[in-house]
Structure 1
Amino acid sequence: MEEDSVDEMKSHSNIHEARFLVGLCRYFLQQGYLPEQITILTTYSGQLFAFKRLMKKSDFEGVRVATVDNFQGEENDIILLSLVRSNKQGSAGFLKIDNRICVALSRARKGLYCIGNFKLLAQQNPTGPSLWREIVKDAEIYGTIGKSLKLQCRNHTETQNEVSNEADFSKVPEGGCSVPCEARLICGHVCRMPCHPADMKHENYKCRQKCTQTICTLGHRCMKQCYQPCDTQCKKPVDKTLPCGHIQKVPCYKSSSEVICESPCRRRLDCGHQCKELCGKGCTVVCQEMIRHYDWPCGHNVLAKCSAGPDSCSKPCNEILSCEHPCKGSCGKCHQGRLHAFCREKCDRTLVCGHPCRSTCAADCPPCSRKCENRCQHSKCKKNCGEPCVPCAERCIWRCRHFRCGAQCGKPCDRRACHDPCTLMLKCGHPCIGLCGEPCPKKCRICDKEEVTSILFGDEDDDDARFVELEDCKHLIEANALDQWMKTDSGSKDTSEATSIKLKVCPWCKTPIRRNLRYGSIIKQALDDINAVKRRIFGNERTIQNLRQNLQERIHREVVCAIARDQQLFLLFETMVSSTLALSHGQITALENRVRFQEEMIDLAKELQSLRSPSLNQQYVKQMKNEIVVMQTWLCKEPINRMSQQQTDDANREAKRFHLALNLFKILVKKPAARDKASEEVKAAELQLFDGKAMTAQRANEINDLLKKIDYKSGGLGISEKERKEIVAAIGLAKGHWLKCPRGHVYAIGECGGATETGKCPECGQGIGGTQHRLTEGNRVASEMDGAQYPAWSEEANNMANFDLNNLH
């Protein structure tokens, strides 16, 4: 086989020789030789790397591979030598050098095996002495050279196999021959390997036949392989009837009571759908059955999971937002119109800097986020475009042989423009068409006549026309016309109009003119006006820094608790406030509004948590808790440094609904009888508060009226405060004599106040009074009548709690 050239190493390799010697090395290892006894040598480094690619570390750990030059002075028991060179040109390279030949052939103590093109080597130096020719001649005499190598099986000495390439080693897969071993093992099974000279006593052999040992009372055999330790428990699958009645394949050793049934569950959920879990596991908590929902507050007909709530409604919202764009969110994501998704319409309004707004729709555009393009001949602004620039304090460089500006670069120039023609010559040899002291235009009136005389204002083709080249866009404009253009409001013909705060633009391409010495004063005035607007947008830096610090403290103090359920949202919110990014006053205000709403939600959640009464409808309490969390999460949705008018209105309406609901709960806790005395009003208020619809001003007024009616009707006897006082004064009983029946109807007990007889409530027929100075079950003190905390005859502190000791005379 011919050699290969390794261009990047300027070396040679021979893959045939490498594969053959790798196979031969494996054969020697199978004969029981240690890896440390074998060394593979090669005459070229390219072949060295070929060996390393072919030899897996796990198979050849300890076998050394080296070049002949690196092995000088060393020996080993077995040397496998690859000579590499084999080509049609008959080139042997440095294999012609005798001392290298001697080094390569004298490293073995017990056995030397060489592979190479000995015919090519013997032909070197045909007219003179050749060491290779002598070596080949002696090898032929002793029969130690040939086209193949004979391998004799140690177990079957009559069997020999010739190998001449990598594939031939498949005849000796385990280092012996292809005859089956067939030795009887200690376990009684037969060795299934082909003939192998190593481990003849099979002490390390692992029998992989099935184990024949019986390991349980039912006669089941061990399920492992013969060489593995037998199971202590029988794992053979058998049919067993489980406690639930299902039959299932179970490991033999397991009791049916220990097994989790994997059959489908037969039970039905509360919604009526089949449980989707396995029989042995807990029933489905969230039903995944897809059904049509018709009963959501939005009234949409939607296909969704049975367990899904109104927030899963996929119908488009399409409500017209305060920005006059249709809402692109879904009905569910907008929470039935209560909390709309942020409007994602592209703004595209032109900002004061002249760039189009790249943000989404909002009442006020955020500051431009592009890199500032303003620069002068000394430096350039490194801020974002929306931030106010710092004027350059260097001396202005506008000068000619007639005039020189003495002002600072960032202030209006104190010299007038020079109108004399430029006296310089262009590279083409023609006179410059510019003006004195201005940068010379690159174009020539003669060489670039067509381009220079293109009509824009009308005087471009005059022989004495002078031109100004704009640095920002490189357009050429006739000087007199450009002078007039720059004095108007960006070219407006009506100069009586109010001047816009913006940079003048090129009349050809509308690129803002930011750099030009001739019109420096106009440009600087425009930039100064723009900076004034930017400063108003950004606000006072010290004020903004104080606001940011205050917000950061408030977030760590309050908001962490509110949104700890969603660390990602918290990190987004906290990162925005603590970042080094410049924030405008509008952005800080938006963040402050979100924090204020968050704090309001936290206070509402705390108050709601403190309310405890059986008169509260726990379903509505739970709904309000969940909706507070929804709003807290909504307040942290991006972009959190902006808050549109729609979002502010939505948050205010939702907060108003929560406060009204909390007021209702407080009335029900303070006056439990309200559910009986104002049942219709309570139900109507709960329906309007928790029907999932947005809170409007009209709804809020209706709910407020309902709350007043509930409070009035549940005050005691459905009387005013004035009437209550008059009745208490007229009856003249001490505190604790006023009581109420189980349904809240008020009555009084005279004398000592202790109940000595029973009766029926004239209003509802419930039992009132009691015996042996003990009230009938369900009767209690009517605190709303006289402020007493306990009945007049009770065990609480001898009734002292019923009296204000400061008013005793």
Structure 2
Amino acid sequence: MHCYILPEQYDCQVIVHCYLSCGHSVDLKCHIDSEAYDCLETVKRTLPTCKHDVEMNCHENVNSFKCQVEVTEKRKDCEHNLTRKCYISSVLFQVKNKCCEKVNKTLPCGHSVEVECHINIKDIKCKRMVDTNFPCHHENMKVVCCEKDTTTCSSTCRLTCSMSHECSKPCHFPKKCNCEEIVEKTHPTCGHTARVKCFEKIEETKCLAKVVKSLPCGHEKQLICHRDVRLVQCQEPVVKELDCGHKREVQCHKDVRKSDIQCTEIVLKNLKCGHHQDMCCYEDPMSKTCSEMVRKLLPCSHYQESECWRKIEEIKCETEVEKLLSCGHTVNAKCYLKSLEIKCRVKVLKQLLNCSHSALMECCVFPGKINCMELVEYKQPKCNHVT
């Protein structure tokens, strides 16, 4: 071995002759354990389950060995022979391997067909060519047997109607042959002519001719012939008297007693406050707000003009009065304003906070916000100049 390999890590490669526990002998490399070695000598043994004599490697177990002998037997469902390996279950083999023997089977249509034994006749489509049996007057045709019942006649109808028109549609038996040729027919009730399909009964169609008819109210109107004048609403404008006594132009069909027509005549009405106001006749004076300007006495004892409808507590007194402010000054202001809401604009002298000077300002101004504009001398620290 190479010098770098340690003796305890080296497997001895010398070939030696060994005797195995089964009685056979074999040449092995020295490092191989003969006790753990699987003997590959071919031996003949009888399997305990099927009793077949088979050849196998000496180390193989007869109880787990898969017998490869081919067994022939009859199937359960059809009695045809099958051949399988001995170790494969007969039931499982028949489930996985269907019978493929060719047999003749008779189909529901009466024809015989050669197929594999396992195929169900319900899954077989008969391909024998047969004649159709159309119930119409047209000629039959050749089709495969399985399509006989689903094949429909594709011939042109060609039947003629009472007016000798020939039907050009595909065969539609047993549906009635309705001729769709356009023809001119006369309505028996009104005498008007109309173009309709040949199969249509003129007495069952509505006449669409335009005619002038008299409505129940006496007015005339152009209508489609079939329309019932009793169901037509006359749109003619007429003048009708409303319940209030005023007259108004409305559509003839309108019933002024039942409809939602409102009288828009302008009339003078009394409001609940006693004032008068122009409004539409239909309007309720009790729901109106009076906008008449009146003089009202306010809780402050002043009089002020305001709309009649407005409540006294909602009115702001605009009278100018003297008010004493918290600063002690007296100012003129509107009556409705509270003293705390008024800014005092009286000019007063106040000492500024950042210096000893005083400045004239409005009383409401805080002196800390004012910049002093007095001119003073200032000695520059670097040059000692006075500026």
TM-score by length of 2: 0.31
Relative to total residues, which structure has the larger strand share, 1 or 2?
A: 2
Relative to total residues, which structure has the larger helix share, 1 or 2?
A: 1
